[in-house]
A = this chain, B = another copy of it.
């Protein structure tokens, strides 16, 4: 998917919501356990209930891998079920030496090899240029590079100062030479709203994938205040706050209600800044 196509979806749906499919056997409603593949059934019902309200789905690969072969099959089937006009993100946080990153790119982008072809994959920056570049050889596919994450441990290294800038700023600055904003996004956690001003100095035009709204405590308005740009430039992820809104038979309806609340809030913001 191109940047322009993504922006058009955002305008059409009046939403920049990404639904995170962190689907776990011990958290999904018990009545689904009777299905041959409970997690796939859960994901399908969540997708059916929210697909008109969001512009992206983000399965977190850990939640599938942990069930071995069966889990990997569920990941592939989930990718297949995501409508192709919705931006798909393999939240995999991969990254290795060049020849190995090329295999990871094949994993997530080459359907003829792995059975999946996501629009994007999250990548960890620690190993530098050749760990990222192989993902960029796929046309209209995206790297979403970890910059400033929303978790407790983000301060250990990401906030450390290197010659007057923090590591996450160094990561953005350095990596912006590797790809344009037509192929590179950054992960920037919602739990530090004011940091978006710093990020936007370095990455004015890139889309930012923003986890941490909801369960992790991030504030949507604060993020938008500093993070929005002329093409919206934000994908706001909510996982647990939507998919686990209820663990009863009404889970899909309740997920839709939570997604709708966010979509309406987003529509208000997009209207206010004149993007729709």
Contact = CB atoms under 8 A, between A and B. Distances in A.
Report which residue of A101, A116, A126 has the largest number of chain B beta carbons within 10 angstroms of its beta carbon.
Answer: A126
A66 B116 CA distance: 10
A125 B101 CA distance: 17
A101 B155 CA distance: 17
Interface residues of A, number: 61
B146 A127 contact: yes
Contacts of A68: 72, 76, 107, 113-116
Interface string A80-107: 0000000000010111111111011011
A70 B8 CA distance: 37
Given A152-B130, A153-B131, A170 B163 contact: no
Copies of this chain, complex-wide, total: 2
A101 B76 CA distance: 21
A158 interface: yes
Interface in A141-177: 146, 149-158, 160-163, 167, 170-171, 174
A258 interface: no
A124 B154 CA distance: 13
Contacts of A24: 103
Query: Which of A69, A110, A131 neighbours the largest number of chain B CB atoms within 10 Å of its CB?
Result: A69
Interface of A: 22, 24, 60, 62-63, 65-69, 71-73, 76, 91, 93-101, 103-104, 106-107, 110, 113-116, 124-132, 146, 149-158, 160-163, 167, 170-171, 174
